[in-house]
Structure 1
Amino acid sequence: MHDQMTLVIESSVEASHVSLAGCLMAVSWLGLCLLVC
């Protein structure tokens, strides 16, 4: 479980380093969640 979370976090960090697309996607998803809620 912990290893899986670590893997997901590392993947997210790598994606963010490659480009800001990861950050933009996370922000857009957060905004969408707030709108739905």
Structure 2
Amino acid sequence: MKMTMTRSVKGRVRYYTLELIPNLFGEWMLVRSYGSI
């Protein structure tokens, strides 16, 4: 499952991504990444 949120601030685009990844043990790993374009 992947969610991406973007917003524009003064002509720059900032993005924030949340990603849930199931692993082999039935647990979920949360991957967060953010930055600006």
| Alignment TM-score > 0.5, same fold | no
Larger radius of gyration between Structure 1 and Structure 2: 2
